[in-house]
Structure 1
Amino acid sequence: MSQPEIPDDRGHLLHLTPDELLGTTRAVRRRLDVTKPVPREVLLDCTRLAQQAPSGRNRQRWDFVFVTDPARRRALADLWRRGLTSPAAPQSHEGPSRHDFTAESGWHAIADSLHHLVGILDQVPVLLVPCIRVGSRAELDDPATQAGTWGSVLPAVWSFMLAARSRGLGTVWTTPHLNCEREAATLLGLPYETTVQCALIPVAWTVGTEFKPARRVPVTEVVHWDHW
């Protein structure tokens, strides 16, 4: 499918149907344009839409921290890179996967794009750190409470990413900096015991606006009726 290039003022919506928006919002690493600033008003527009996402008991207890200061961006990117090589970080791709149709070439493509992001992360104009407020970190100790906690922030983050895509912005969900979460909290002035960081999301205009749906296994392989 073909989408129009975003206008020069970078403030208009792309002409995407809901299905096109949902089907072409990709994890963007290689095609982030690090040369153009992202206006604060565009970020606020995307956040206003994110506020409409559901959250547990409608408490709306999430916050977005947008990091745009160059020095702070560099420091956060350094923590992200350190977290990527941390002993606590996953070191292999072992385990269940439905990417058998891409196999080794698929992992190579992901590794190449990740390597590109490693080199440019500090140059990306906006780094978003979504957070969820908790009574204490003990909320993350059991699956039921944890599900409610993440379920109160992830819909808003995905809504932000969809809103960004509709405006010609690229995003990608990343988590390596969480291996250095306490240091990141200090850098960002977050109260560590009652505020949990969820991710680090680069935000930038994309180089071109045309993205295609990714290859996936047939839907019949992921759907179960009445029992597993």
Structure 2
Amino acid sequence: MSSTTSSPQLNLTVDELLTTTRSVRKRLDFDKPVPRDIVMECLDLALQAPTGSNAQGWQWVFVDDPEKKKAIADIYRVAATPYLDMEKPTYGDSRDERTPLVVDSAKYLNENLEKAPVLMIPCLEGRPDGAPAGISASYWGSLLPAAWSFMLALRSRGLGSAWTTLHLLGEGEKQAADILGIPFDTYAQGGLFPIAYTKGTDFKKAKRLPAEQLSHWNSW
């Protein structure tokens, strides 16, 4: 699909793109419109991701109607508000340093989710409810790579997002399906993504545990 409103791409190397694509919350620009052409351009790129048996059973629901965004955000808050108020686990390492900041930014998004110019819900044909781990892994493996590719494409064009899933808890997924006309019995939702331009594009690497601490060769 050709775009008539193409955003200039950031001058990022592949390594820079992979290491600076963040879950963006407080730096989402709620006031700058996001053209549909840009969203579809990013989706075209994301659809090159692998999908099991080349089934391409994904569908992508974008929401820019203010009333529907508010309704989806309210569903999200039902689960997100009590979850974010819960005491968070500690790890005894560098992750504990970031926890208060992550919680603070997540609460900000929770309070302002409907202000994002666009919300996106990726869906996949079939439902893995109660499926064995292998089936579930295979199922979601046909959607999640494309969702991450979509986030990378956004980043490369000066936009950002955050991968959220709390609206899927309880009755939330069914309620969102009813609002958006998603066939609940035949399609599962993989998340809820706010989409906006970012305030600045100077994102940095996150502090992560070292690869040596997380890797195993030939045995655990």
Which position in structure 1 is the counterpart of 2:37?
41
Which position in structure 1 is the counterpart of 2:142?
152
TM-score by length of 2: 0.92
Query: How far, CA to CA, are the matches of 2:132 and 2:219 in structure 1?
Result: 24
Which position in structure 1 is the counterpart of 2:174?
182
Question: Identity over aligned residues, as a percent?
Answer: 45
Matches within 5 A, 1:110-149: 110-134=102-126, 137=127, 140-149=130-139
Query: How far, CA to CA, are the matches of 1:90 and 1:178 in structure 2?
Result: 18
TM-score by length of 1: 0.88
Secondary structure at the aligned position of 2:73 is classed as helix
Is 2:62 the counterpart of 1:72?
no
Task: Tell me by how many angstroms 1:86 deviates.
Answer: 5.9
Contact preservation (8 Å) 1:10, 1:168: no
Work out the number of aligned pairs and report it. 214
Which position in structure 1 is the counterpart of 2:89?
94
From 203, 216, 226, the equivalent of 2:195 is 203
Q: CA RMSD in A?
A: 1.9
Which position in structure 1 is the counterpart of 2:158?
168
Alignment gaps of 5+ in structure 1: 1-8
Task: Tell me by how many angstroms 1:94 deviates.
Answer: 3.3
User: Residue type of the partner of 2:101?
Assistant: A
User: Residue type of the partner of 1:130?
Assistant: P
Query: How far, CA to CA, are the matches of 2:82 and 2:52 in structure 1?
Result: 33
Task: Tell me by how many angstroms 1:144 deviates.
Answer: 1.0
Query: How far, CA to CA, are the matches of 2:85 and 2:56 in structure 1?
Result: 31
Task: Tell me by how many angstroms 1:120 deviates.
Answer: 1.4
Query: How far, CA to CA, are the matches of 2:68 and 2:163 in structure 1?
Result: 19
Query: How far, CA to CA, are the matches of 1:161 and 1:112 in structure 2?
Result: 22
Secondary structure at the aligned position of 1:127 is classed as strand
Alignment gaps of 5+ in structure 2: none
